[in-house]
Chain A
Amino acid sequence: MITVNNLVKDFSLNRKQRKELGDEYKNTKTIRAVDDISFECKPGRIYGLLGPNGAGKTTTLRMIATMLKPSSGSINVAGFDTIKQGQNVREQIGFMTGQTALYDRLTPTEMVKYIGDLHGMDKIAFQNRKNKLFDILDMHSFADRRIARLSTGMKQKTSIARTIIHDPQVMVFDEPTSGLDVMTSRAIMDLIRSCREEGKTVIFSTHRMGEVNQVCNDIAIIYKGKLFYNDTLDKFKSEMTQPTFEEEFIYRVGEA
């Protein structure tokens, strides 16, 4: 379960950044990336966070994963507060982005072991979980090859294995399919679905409307840091005034 209450995130701007943002920000010292948002992601459901680039999706997910501290508001992940109990929160989550985010000079086994060790997994538990994941993902043939020499698909499988090696209760996916080909994207979408089937809490940010339609149970639309839609996907579909999902999204963002 993830509960987000009145979340705000301000970033301070230096002179160079103010200049880059134009006259509007000439005299502002901070910029609000996330503006008073609240939502809840329930176990066994997939929560889709939709929004264009720069809307505040990554900032929100990074706050959930304790990488960034909220300026105000609070987040509770699996019963732990992200500010006061950061380490407990990190023990409960699996975080994945569109980048494979692997160490080229390690092998898939070493990569997964590293993350397992950081999560304090004991030898037997790790071995069992690793064997299970490597079976499902068909990774045994390249398990001891250096990651740099693997194909994109193999790398993506390794990335999936390292994200879920510790069997996290909460999964955070930050645009996990961006820049990936159709085959690799499908593997990620399968992973997201399987996480739901296992009863995990899943939050998933994207700007690909097709993916939302495929897997999400609940959706939120975030734009310029504000949340202006937060309900079930079914309800969103029933309220649609535009012919396609994508057009509806553009229409709603335009209205905001």
Chain B
Amino acid sequence: MKFLIIAKKEMIDITRDKRTILMMVAVPLLMVPVLIGSMMKIVSFQAEEASVKQLKVRFVGEEHAPNLYQEFTEMDKVIMLNQIPIDSIQSYIQEGFLDAAVYVNPTYSKDIAGNGQANIQIYFKGTDSFDIARDRIKTVLKASENQIISSRMDRLNLQPNVVKAYEIQYNDVASKQEKFGKLAGGWLPYIFIVFGFMGAMYPAVDLGSGEKERGTLETILSSPATRLDVVMGKFLVIMATAFLTAFLALAGLLIGIQLISEIPPPVLTLINEIFSLKLITLIMTLVLPVSAFFSAVLLGLSIYARSFKEAQSIIAPLNIIIIFPAVIGTLPGIELNSITALIPILNVTLAAKDIIAGVINPFFMTEVYLSLFGFAALALFWCVRAFNKESTIFRN
């Protein structure tokens, strides 16, 4: 039971460290809501800006298509800049002085009157946010085209069904929860994976290489505690910190969502319905083995390092390795199957996505837990070996 004495001491020690508390409590509880809030604000600000933006359009060939030109001039929030020389149009668009240019062929009237196709070319800059120029012009052109088709059909005495053979109705059987889970569910595990790792990082460095740097390693190694006691005591504390950080990040996210006014009320109601206590508990059962895995790996690496600084330089690049499978899991089309259920971290993202969507496959979920606990046990075994290896523990 000596590992419990070590765990108790390490917990007191680590919770008195301002940096750990900042990383474990303040960052997830404050940073996540602030980040989510700012992101939503930026998106809604951009969307609002796009909707009120005055569109600057150059229409070339208005004499060939006066009606169409008229429809353009009647568009909401538009300025027709027909004084711009034709050969400068493309450079004006490129530099952002002009949003779009509409080129109408000289044969426009003849083509339309003869039931033919009139060629219209639109120039725009596709890298502009929201493609507003293209979308708004498309709306005007579509309305005009529909009008022309309708008058042609009247003239030829044809019913609209002549050109519309099918009436297709799409009936989605997926529940709102399922759609939400598949669409946004991947980002949630991404947050708790990243925060779980961050939560384990600092305590692991402090409890591993920190002991070497302070010279306290010999104190603990010459005590009656076995190496296994030392590893287990430290491991439990790091795991608890990682778990708590991930949990607080999740809590921060849910609190943040409640405070964001930009989220439409029906979506907010749906989110509140989905995130029941049962769902959060289920998700936390995934966080537990992930925290164990991170803690064992980080403690093993930390004890290998000669100093605090070396430990940080070894551990920091792992952030990218952790993020990579977490991000892959958020991509559409990547689903939980018998193979992906075995890949650590990726399986957490996919399993959490399914849990949020409410479509849990018991076989795959069992595989996910077996894989996660298996990897955590392997990492812990490796960590204990590192502690028992003289060349690691007295590397300096």
Contact = CB atoms under 8 A, between A and B. Distances in A.
17 contacts: A11-B391, A62-B218, A65-B218, A65-B221, A90-B222, A101-B214, A101-B215, A105-B17, A110-B9, A114-B5, A114-B9, A118-B5, A118-B223, A118-B225, A119-B224, A146-B16, A162-B219
Given A106-B13, A118-B2, A65 B215 contact: no
A191 interface: no
A68 B219 contact: no
Given A87-B224, A90-B224, A105-B17, A115 B219 contact: yes
B394 interface: yes
Nearest to A120: B224
Given A103-B216, A104-B214, A12 B224 contact: no
B87 interface: no
Contacts of B13: 103, 105-106
B5 A117 contact: yes
B8 to A, nearest CB: 8
Interface string A1-22: 0000000000110000000000
A69 B226 CA distance: 14
B12 interface: yes
Interface of A: 11-12, 62, 65-69, 87, 90-91, 93, 95, 97, 99-106, 110, 114-115, 117-120, 146, 162, 172
B390 interface: yes
Contacts of B17: 105
A68 B394 contact: yes
Contact of A100 (B12, B215, B226): B215
A101 B224 contact: no
Given A93-B222, A95-B218, A101-B216, A68 B390 contact: yes
A232 B9 CA distance: 43
A119 B222 contact: no
B344 to A, nearest CB: 30
A58 to B, nearest CB: 9
Contacts of A67: 218, 221-222, 394
Interface size class of B (residues with CB under 8 A): 20 to 34
Contact of B223 (A11, A90, A100, A105): A90
| Residue with the highest number of chain B CB atoms closer than 10 Å, among A11, A90, A114, A172 | A114
Interface of B: 2, 5-6, 9, 12-13, 16-17, 214-216, 218-226, 390-391, 394
Interface centre among B6, B9, B214, B226 (most CB of A within 10 A): B9
Shortest Cβ-Cβ A-B pairs, 5 listed? A99-B215, A95-B222, A105-B16, A101-B215, A118-B223
Contacts, number: 71
A100 B225 CA distance: 20
B9 A106 contact: yes
Given A115-B219, A118-B6, A162-B219, 18 more contacts: A66-B221, A67-B221, A67-B394, A68-B390, A69-B390, A87-B224, A90-B224, A91-B224, A95-B218, A97-B215, A97-B218, A100-B215, A105-B17, A110-B12, A118-B2, A118-B225, A119-B223, A146-B16
Contacts of A68: 390, 394
B215 A118 contact: no
A235 B63 CA distance: 122
A100 B215 CA distance: 8
Nearest to B393: A67
A11 B13 CA distance: 34
B22 to A, nearest CB: 15
B227 to A, nearest CB: 10
A68 B9 CA distance: 25
B85 to A, nearest CB: 70
A65 B222 CA distance: 6
Nearest to A106: B13
A223 B233 CA distance: 39
Given A66-B222, A101-B214, A162-B219, A106 B5 contact: no
Contacts of A117: 5
Contacts of A162: 219
Contacts of B224: 87, 90-91, 118-120
Contacts of B219: 95, 101, 115, 162
Contacts of B9: 103, 106, 110, 114
Contacts of A110: 9, 12
